[in-house]
Amino acid sequence: MFNKSLKFLQLLQQNNNRDWFHANKSIYNEAKAEFELVTEILIHEVSRFDKDIAGLQPKDCIFRIFRDIRFSSDKTPYKTNFGTYLVHGGRNSGFAGYYFHLDIKGSFLAGGIYMPPSEILKAVRNEIYEHPEEFKNILSEAKRHNEFNVLHDEKLKTAPKGFPRDFPDIELLKYKSYGLSRIITDSELSSDKILNTIIENFKIIKPMICFINNAIESKMN
């Protein structure tokens, strides 16, 4: 399924410079077309159980391969991975969505919202504060699937501003990102059932995405 994409990424990792990239643009175009097809299939299948994904195009979801090196000490011009983010309104909409990351160093899938702006983060925290049991049930259900990492990103050391320190589930409000993630093994990636694996895991992630997006939509209305 990912033969062309992985072959290109492996070559790119060894030759991450503009001269090589332009000389091998045809290899990149083949890999890109393969990943676009995968994204198109994922959009079609995910929209069966999440109508907010319906109508998206691969160009709305796939991240550019070009790195922003303006403020980075690493001046290599290209990412050595492909990433696609299936989310209502497209990858820059600000909503929570489903993410698939293809990388020769390790692939994974995830869902949720990563390091959102402060006003969005506050809305999500407020939703958790008002509906803690619902949110904990979502986490508990995901934990039944041992492959998932649950809320493992960076946290505040103290209670976020505007929330009582004695809130029983205050630890849940300290995260700066909210989501679930799961490593995709090499054997899974090479299996002819890989797309089904991704889709079935996205189904598990859906309640988290719905919870977060309800919070965001409430703030917008």
Q: Are 208 and 138 in contact (CB under 8 A)?
A: yes
Bridge partners (DSSP) of residue 86 are: 98
Amino acid identity for residue 146 in this structure: N
Taken in order of first residue, the domains within the chain and their CATH numbers are 3-220 (3.30.930)
Q: Which residues, at least 6 apart from 162, have a Cβ–Cβ distance to it below 8 Å?
A: 122
For residues 8 and 33, give the distance between their C-alpha atoms in angstroms, rounded to a whole number: 12
Q: Running DSSP on this structure, what letter comes out for residue 159?
A: P
Alpha-carbon distance values, 198 to 2, 29, 202 (Å): 14, 24, 6
pLDDT of 27-56, one tens digit each? 999 999 999 999 999 999 999 999 999 999
For residues 198 and 42, give the distance between their C-alpha atoms in angstroms, rounded to a whole number: 8
Residue 195 C-beta-side C-alpha neighbours within 13 Å: 14
- pTM for the full model? 0.94
Residue 22, pLDDT score: 96
pLDDT of 137-150, one tens digit each? 999 999 888 788 88
203, pLDDT greater than 70: yes
219, pLDDT greater than 80: no
Q: Dig out the tokens for 121 from the structure.
A: 């983060």
Amino acid identity for residue 5 in this structure: S
pLDDT of 15-27, one tens digit each? 999 999 999 999 9
221, pLDDT greater than 70: no
For residues 56 and 70, give the distance between their C-alpha atoms in angstroms, rounded to a whole number: 30
Q: Are 67 and 77 in contact (CB under 8 A)?
A: yes
> Burial level of 61, CB count in 10 A (0-12/13-18/19+)?
buried
Bridge partners (DSSP) of residue 167 are: none
